[in-house]
Amino acid sequence: MIALYRPGTSIVHRLPAGPKLIALMLLAIAITVFATTAWAIAGIGVLVVAGYLAAGLGPLEVLRQLVALRWIVAITLVTQVIFLPLPVAATNTGRVVTVVLLATLVTLTTRTSALLDAVERGLGPLRRIGVDPARVGLLLAMTITVVPVIAGFAANIRAAQRARGATPRLRFLAMPLLVMSLKHADDLADALIARGAE
């Protein structure tokens, strides 16, 4: 989940954004390619928790992030169990969870502005082939700010369903969430056009 920056003075907080992003990319590739057993996933999970502890975030933050990932875990696991044996599906789901937790650790310990600056600097050499780092940075900034908004929509829909006495279910959440998200996207597009950023 895309999380908000938590100020701190830990060694993880003090690391520059660029090296953090490079490390995240390399670790994500390594986890995807080499973590093929439950034991490997468990070992990586211990390292991820150690990263949270080194950042001064504590085990409760890890638990909070795991709870936030419950729908990703459910959807990923259920859709894979249809086609794959349960151990394989569980291992694949574990890989997804560990990578997302690592990405969350980066966003929890790095200011968004620093992340965007690092991405723009890293994409600088691609100007020669027509890539505009500023536009990519704008896209990332909008993504980072929109994800919590959509999560807020989902929370409001669930609260409204509970207020009506209905049991919140995924199939009853999807349609209103899609409608609200599309409306928000239209409003955001109109705002960008009005400011000349189309």
User: Do 100 and 144 fall within a single domain?
Assistant: no
Q: Give yes or no for a contact between 120 and 134, defined as CB atoms under 8 angstroms apart.
A: yes
In a domain, 150, yes or no: yes
In a domain, 47, yes or no: yes
For residues 169, 171, 172 and 174, what is the CA-based torsion angle, rounded to 10 degrees? 120
In a domain, 17, yes or no: yes
Domain count, the chain: 2
* pLDDT tier at 69, thresholds 50, 70, 90: confident
User: Do 98 and 175 fall within a single domain?
Assistant: no
User: Do 19 and 106 fall within a single domain?
Assistant: yes
Go through the chain and tell me how many residues it has: 198
User: Do 23 and 70 fall within a single domain?
Assistant: yes
- Dist CA 96 CA 94 (whole Å): 5
Average pLDDT over residues 96-115: 88
* Maximum distance among all Cα pairs of the chain, rounded to whole angstroms: 58
Look up the domain containing 144 and give its range: 133-194
User: Do 101 and 15 fall within a single domain?
Assistant: yes
User: Do 52 and 97 fall within a single domain?
Assistant: yes
In a domain, 123, yes or no: no
- Dist CA 47 CA 114 (whole Å): 24
Segment among 8-12, 67-71, 106-110, 134-138 with least mean pLDDT: 134-138
User: Do 99 and 30 fall within a single domain?
Assistant: yes
Mean pLDDT of the chain: 82
User: Do 20 and 105 fall within a single domain?
Assistant: yes
In a domain, 128, yes or no: no
Terminal-to-terminal C-alpha distance of the chain: 28
- Dist CA 128 CA 16 (whole Å): 26
In a domain, 4, yes or no: no
Segment among 16-20, 28-32, 162-166 with least mean pLDDT: 162-166
pLDDT of residue 118: 84
User: Do 72 and 144 fall within a single domain?
Assistant: no
Average pLDDT over residues 79-93: 88
User: Do 163 and 106 fall within a single domain?
Assistant: no
pLDDT of residue 80: 87
Instruction: Flag whether pLDDT at 3 surpasses 60.
Output: no
User: Do 26 and 93 fall within a single domain?
Assistant: yes
Of the three residues 55, 76, 110, the one that is the final residue of a domain is 110
- Residues in Cβ contact with 123 at an 8 Å cutoff, skipping those fewer than 6 apart: 131, 133, 136
- Dist CA 27 CA 46 (whole Å): 14
**Residue closest to 151 by CA, chosen among 52, 76, 61, 71:** 71
For residues 64, 70, 72 and 75, what is the CA-based torsion angle, rounded to 10 degrees? 180
- Dist CA 8 CA 12 (whole Å): 9
In a domain, 165, yes or no: yes
User: Do 36 and 67 fall within a single domain?
Assistant: yes
Average pLDDT over residues 42-66: 90
Average pLDDT over residues 105-113: 87
Q: Give yes or no for a contact between 84 and 92, defined as CB atoms under 8 angstroms apart.
A: yes
